[in-house]
């Protein structure tokens, strides 16, 4: 199973940008999901999250879980701000 997942990830990386965006829209955003990515950034971790319409980035944490929680918190704030303006 791990080998199959690795092959899918490698194929995804080498796809053209427009196909990756369509893939993300189909799998994540269309279903109301939020996509969160966490990266190692020096001694800390950095995360970004996107809901298809709103994206937040530069969410830092000393562990991957803290960076992920920060991205979730900032996404929640951004979505509430958009709803409040409507």
The answer to whether the beta carbons of residues 67 and 61 sit under 8 Å apart is: yes
pLDDT value for 52: 78
* Mean pLDDT for the stretch of residues 42-64: 92
For 40, phi and psi rounded to 5 degrees? -75, 130
State how far the Cα of 5 lies from the Cα of 37, in Å rounded to an integer.
17
Q: Which are the contacts of 11, defined by CB distance < 8 A and separation ≥ 6? A: none
Residue 10 has pLDDT above 70, yes or no: no
Domain ranges within the chain, ordered by starting residue: 1-32, 34-86
* Mean pLDDT for the stretch of residues 24-52: 82
Per mean pLDDT, which range of 4-8, 47-51, 82-86 is the poorest? 4-8
State how far the Cα of 31 lies from the Cα of 51, in Å rounded to an integer.
10
State how far the Cα of 44 lies from the Cα of 47, in Å rounded to an integer.
10
């Amino acid at each position: 199973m791990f080998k199959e997942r690795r092959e899918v990830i490698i194929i995804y990386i080498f796809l053209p940008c427009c196909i990756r965006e369509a893939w993300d829209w189909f799998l994540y955003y269309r279903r109301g999901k939020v996509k969160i990515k966490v990266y190692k950034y020096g001694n800390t971790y950095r995360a970004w999250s996107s809901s298809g319409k709103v994206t937040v980035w530069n969410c830092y944490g000393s562990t991957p879980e803290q960076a992920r929680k920060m991205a979730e918190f900032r996404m929640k704030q951004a979505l509430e701000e958009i709803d409040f303006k409507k």
